[in-house]
C-alpha cells in the first residue's frame, strides 16, 4: 500500500508540475545544459542544435527582430515573414489614406510588384552568441568605484564588438546579464528592405481593441505579412527595384494539425524587459509612481485623441498608430498595478529579503561581500523618488504629450546653421527639411487635436508636479503675459509659431530669420522644458551608482544563496526561448477558461458599427456558410486563438509559437490580465500567453482575402 501511495504521489506531482508554466526566458546556447531534458519530456522532438547552431541552419535562423520592438519569423523560401498586426500597424497606417484606408479595409499584394516598401523598417537576424564575461571583467579590480568599473567594462565591450565585426557587414552588441554579473556577445545581420505584403482589416487584426487588450477569451487575428529583400548578390541592401526576395538559411514549416491540451509549445523571440529580481523598494516605486502617473497622464490625452479620431476619418488614420502605442502600456500599467496589489507581490519580495538578511548575517564573509546590497537599493530608490516622479511627468506630459514641441529640434538645427554663417549648410538643411518634413511629421499631425492635448498636458503638469520642478515658462510667460491662463498661452503659441503649420514653416525656410526663430514660442517653451529636464536628470544620476552596485550585489547574492535553483536572466531584448504547453487555466474560483476560442466567439462579440467589435460582412457570410476549408478543427469549428503557459513579455509580440517538431502553430501577441504582475513576479498557476492560431491566420489569407498564393509559398503540414 505504501508503495502504491508513493507511486500515486509521484504521478500526481508530475502531473501538476506539467500544469505549471515553466518559468524562465532562456539563452539559446545554454539549452543543451539546462533545458533540453525537460523539453524532451514535454514533447520536443528536436535536438538543442536544431534550435541553435552556428554550424548549420537551425530554428534561430528563421527568427528576426522586427523593427525596433517586435519579433517576426520567416515562413517561406522567398523571405515571407509573419509578425503581429500591431507590430506592423505603423507601416499599415503609414501607407493608408482616406482614399486607400488599409487600416479599415486591409491590404493584400497579389504580386510581388504590388508589395509596399517601408523606409526605416529593418529586420535583424542573430548570427551567434558567445559568453564573454571573463574578457569583459578582466580589467575590473576589487575596490573600484562604480564609474571606474563601468569605464573598464565599456572599454572591453567596445573592443570585443569591434573584433567580432571586423571584415564583415555584421553588427555586434555585448549585453549585460544578471545585473552586470555576466556578459554575452550577440552578433547580428540586418536587412533594410522589408516590404508590406498583407494585412487584415483592423476589424480582424485589432478586433476588440482596448477592451479586449490583455484579456482572455480573445478573438483577435493579430497578424501581418511582410517580405524581406536582399541585393542581387543575396546580401543586405537598401531598397531597390532590382532587389530579390531573401533566400533564408531556414524557414518555419506551418502546421495546421489540431491542437490539444497539453501539447508542447515553445517560443523563440526577443522579450524586451522583465524585473523579476526587483526588491520590495522597487516594487513600491512602481506602485506609487510609475503606474499611477502613466495611467493618469495617458488616460487624459487618449480621451482627447479618441474624441477627434472618432469624429474624423482622416484624423483617425493620422492618430491610429500613436493612440495604439500609448494605450497598450496604459492598460498594461492598469493591469500590472492591480496584479501587484492583488497578489501581494511586495510582501512576497519582503519575504525573500528577510531570508537574505538571515543568510547574509550568518556569515561574516557574506556580510562583508553582500551586506550593503539592500540598503544601497533602498536608499537610492527612496531618495530619488521626487526626481523620478518629475522626470516621468516631463516625459509623459511634454516629450510624448505635446507633439508640437518635437519640432523645436528643427529650430535648434536651423539656428545653429544660421549662426555658423555657412549659407550652403543652411540651404542644404532647409532643402532637407522641406523634402522630409511632410512625411516625417505633418502627414500624421493635426494641429487642433494637438492644441487640445497641449493645453491639458500643461495644466496637468502644473497642477500635479511641485513648483520647484516647473519649467520657467510658467512664471515668465504664462503668468506674466497671460495672467496664468494656459489656454490663452497655448492658443498664442500655435498662432505665432512658424512650426505649427507646414505651409508657415516652408515659407519661413524660403526666407529664414534667426531672430524670429530664437523668439518662436515653441522654441522658447521647449528650451525652458529642456533646462528643467536636464536638472532633474542630473539629480537622478547621482543615485545611479548606488542603485547599479546594489542590484549587482543583490543578484549575485541570490545566486549564491540558492545554488540549487537555476536563475535565468531577466529579459533584455536578446533572443530567448521559453517552453511549456497548450493549456487552459482557472482565473478565479469556480471559473475555468478553455485553451482555445473560435470564430463563433467573434460573432458573439459582434457589435455592428462599433469601432472595437465590428465585423466585416464577408467574414459574417463565410461564418454563416461555415466556409472554413482545410483550416477547420476536426471538431467542426474554426479556431481563432489559444493559450499556452509560456513565459513572455513585451518584445515577444509576433514571436513564433512552435510545436515539438519545429513547426509554426501560432503567433504570440499578448499576456493575460490575471497575470499582469508577471514581469515582476512570475505566477505559474495564472501566467498564460495568448496566441493567434496559425489556422486562423491562413484562413484569413486564403479564404477571406483570396491571397492563396501566399499560403502556397509556405510548407503546410497537415
Dihedrals φ, ψ of 523, to 5°?
Answer: -65, -45
Our CA dihedral for 635, 638, 640, 644, rounded to 10 degrees, sits at: 20
Specify whether the CB–CB gap between 385 and 285 falls below 8 A.
Answer: yes
Grid cell, residue 392, equals 516621468
Q: How many Å apart are CA 66 and CA 68, to the nearest integer? A: 6
Radius of gyration over every alpha carbon of the chain, rounded to an integer in angstroms? 27
Of the residues 86, 96, 326, 693, only one is catalytic, namely 86
Longest CA–CA separation in the chain, Å: 96
Q: How many Å apart are CA 152 and CA 640, to the nearest integer? A: 52
CA neighbours within 13 Å on the CB side: how many for 558? Answer: 23
Of the residues 222, 308, 444, 670, only one is catalytic, namely 222
Look up 222 and say whether it is catalytic: yes
Of the residues 653, 655, 679, 702, only one is catalytic, namely 653
Specify whether the CB–CB gap between 601 and 219 falls below 8 A.
Answer: yes
Classify the C-alpha dihedral 193-199-201-207 as positive or negative: negative
Listed residue (490, 495, 481, 483) closest to 459, CA to CA: 490
Look up 176 and say whether it is catalytic: no
Specify whether the CB–CB gap between 88 and 106 falls below 8 A.
Answer: no
Q: How many CB atoms lie within 10 A of CB 201?
A: 26
Look up 86 and say whether it is catalytic: yes
Identify any residues that bridge with 66 across adjacent strands, giving them in sequence order: 70, 123
E strands, 90-221, where?
Answer: 107-108, 116-117, 123-131, 171-177, 182-191, 193-199
Cis peptide before 217 (omega within 30 of 0): yes
Our CA dihedral for 277, 283, 289, 291, rounded to 10 degrees, sits at: 80
The torsion region of residue 662 among left (phi > 0), alpha (psi -120 to 50) and beta comes to left
Report the DSSP pairing between strands 716-717 and 254-255.
Answer: parallel
Our CA dihedral for 352, 353, 359, 364, rounded to 10 degrees, sits at: 160
Specify whether the CB–CB gap between 40 and 46 falls below 8 A.
Answer: no
Q: How many Å apart are CA 80 and CA 314, to the nearest integer? A: 31
Catalytic residue positions?
86, 222, 653
Amino acid at each position: 500500500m505504501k508503495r502504491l501511495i508513493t507511486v500515486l504521489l509521484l504521478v500526481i506531482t508530475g502531473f501538476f508540475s506539467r500544469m505549471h508554466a515553466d518559468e524562465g526566458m532562456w539563452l539559446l546556447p545554454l539549452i543543451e545544459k539546462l533545458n533540453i531534458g525537460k523539453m524532451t519530456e514535454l514533447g520536443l522532438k528536436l535536438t538543442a542544435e536544431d534550435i541553435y547552431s552556428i554550424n548549420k541552419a537551425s530554428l534561430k535562423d528563421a527568427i528576426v527582430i522586427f523593427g525596433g520592438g517586435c519579433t517576426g519569423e520567416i515562413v517561406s523560401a522567398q523571405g515571407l515573414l509573419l509578425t503581429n498586426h500591431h507590430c506592423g500597424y505603423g507601416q499599415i497606417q503609414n501607407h493608408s489614406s482616406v482614399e486607400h484606408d488599409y487600416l479599415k479595409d486591409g491590404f493584400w499584394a497579389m504580386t510581388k510588384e504590388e508589395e509596399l516598401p517601408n523606409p526605416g523598417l529593418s529586420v535583424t537576424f542573430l548570427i551567434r552568441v558567445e559568453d564573454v564575461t571573463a574578457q569583459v571583467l578582466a580589467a575590473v579590480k576589487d575596490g573600484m568605484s562604480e564609474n571606474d568599473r563601468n569605464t573598464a567594462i565599456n572599454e572591453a565591450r567596445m573592443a570585443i564588438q569591434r573584433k567580432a565585426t571586423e571584415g564583415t557587414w555584421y553588427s555586434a552588441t555585448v549585453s549585460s546579464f544578471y545585473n552586470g554579473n555576466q556578459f554575452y556577445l550577440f552578433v547580428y545581420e540586418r536587412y533594410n528592405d522589408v516590404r508590406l505584403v498583407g494585412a487584415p482589416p483592423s476589424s480582424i487584426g485589432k478586433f476588440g481593441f482596448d477592451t479586449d487588450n490583455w484579456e482572455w477569451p480573445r478573438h483577435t487575428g493579430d497578424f501581418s505579412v511582410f517580405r524581406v529583400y536582399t541585393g542581387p548578390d543575396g546580401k543586405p541592401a537598401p531598397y531597390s527595384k532590382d532587389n530579390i526576395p531573401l533566400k533564408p538559411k531556414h524557414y518555419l514549416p506551418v502546421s495546421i494539425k489540431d491542437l490539444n491540451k497539453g501539447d508542447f509549445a515553445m517560443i523563440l523571440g526577443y522579450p524586451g524587459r522583465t524585473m523579476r529580481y526587483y526588491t520590495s523598494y522597487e516594487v513600491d516605486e512602481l506602485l506609487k509612481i510609475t503606474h499611477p502617473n502613466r495611467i493618469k497622464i495617458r488616460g487624459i490625452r487618449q480621451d482627447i485623441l479618441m474624441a477627434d479620431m472618432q469624429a474624423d476619418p482622416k484624423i483617425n488614420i493620422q492618430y491610429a498608430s500613436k493612440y495604439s502605442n500609448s494605450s497598450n502600456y496604459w492598460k498594461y500599467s492598469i493591469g500590472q498595478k492591480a496584479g501587484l496589489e492583488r497578489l501581494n507581490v511586495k510582501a512576497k519580495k519582503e519575504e525573500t529579503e528577510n531570508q537574505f538578511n538571515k543568510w547574509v548575517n550568518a556569515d561574516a564573509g557574506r556580510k562583508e561581500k553582500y551586506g550593503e546590497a539592500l540598503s544601497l537599493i533602498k536608499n537610492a530608490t527612496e531618495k530619488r523618488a521626487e526626481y523620478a516622479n518629475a522626470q516621468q511627468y516631463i516625459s509623459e506630459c511634454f516629450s510624448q504629450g505635446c507633439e508640437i514641441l518635437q519640432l523645436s529640434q528643427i529650430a535648434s538645427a536651423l539656428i545653429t546653421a544660421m549662426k555658423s554663417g555657412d549659407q550652403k549648410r543652411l540651404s542644404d538643411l532647409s532643402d532637407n527639411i522641406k523634402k522630409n518634413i511632410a512625411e516625417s511629421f505633418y502627414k500624421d499631425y493635426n494641429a487642433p487635436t494637438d492644441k487640445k492635448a497641449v493645453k491639458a498636458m500643461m495644466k496637468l503638469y502644473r497642477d500635479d508636479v511641485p513648483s520647484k520642478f516647473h519649467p520657467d515658462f510658467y512664471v515668465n510667460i504664462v503668468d506674466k503675459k497671460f495672467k496664468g491662463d494656459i489656454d490663452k498661452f497655448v492658443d498664442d503659441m500655435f498662432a505665432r509659431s512658424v512650426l505649427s503649420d507646414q505651409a508657415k514653416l516652408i515659407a519661413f525656410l524660403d526666407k529664414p530669420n534667426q531672430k524670429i526663430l530664437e523668439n518662436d514660442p515653441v522654441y522658447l517653451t521647449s528650451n525652458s522644458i529642456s533646462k528643467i529636464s536636464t536638472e532633474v536628470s542630473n539629480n537622478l544620476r547621482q543615485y545611479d551608482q548606488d542603485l547599479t552596485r546594489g542590484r549587482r550585489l543583490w543578484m549575485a547574492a541570490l545566486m549564491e544563496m540558492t545554488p540549487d535553483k537555476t536563475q535565468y536572466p531577466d529579459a533584455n531584448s536578446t533572443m530567448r526561448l521559453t517552453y511549456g504547453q497548450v493549456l487552459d487555466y482557472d482565473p478565479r474560483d469556480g471559473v475555468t477558461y478553455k485553451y482555445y476560442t473560435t470564430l463563433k466567439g467573434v460573432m458573439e462579440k459582434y457589435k455592428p458599427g462599433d469601432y472595437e467589435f465590428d465585423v466585416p460582412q464577408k467574414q459574417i457570410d463565410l461564418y454563416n456558410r461555415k466556409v472554413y476549408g482545410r483550416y477547420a478543427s476536426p471538431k467542426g469549428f474554426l479556431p481563432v486563438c489559444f493559450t499556452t503557459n509560456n513565459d513572455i513579455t513585451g518584445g515577444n509580440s509576433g514571436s513564433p509559437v512552435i510545436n515539438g517538431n519545429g513547426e509554426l502553430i501560432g503567433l504570440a501577441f499578448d499576456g493575460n490580465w490575471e497575470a499582469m504582475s508577471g514581469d515582476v513576479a512570475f505566477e505559474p498557476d495564472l501566467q498564460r500567453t495568448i496566441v493567434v492560431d496559425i489556422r486562423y491566420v491562413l484562413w484569413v489569407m486564403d479564404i477571406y482575402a483570396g491571397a492563396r498564393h501566399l499560403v502556397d509559398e509556405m510548407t503546410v503540414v497537415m
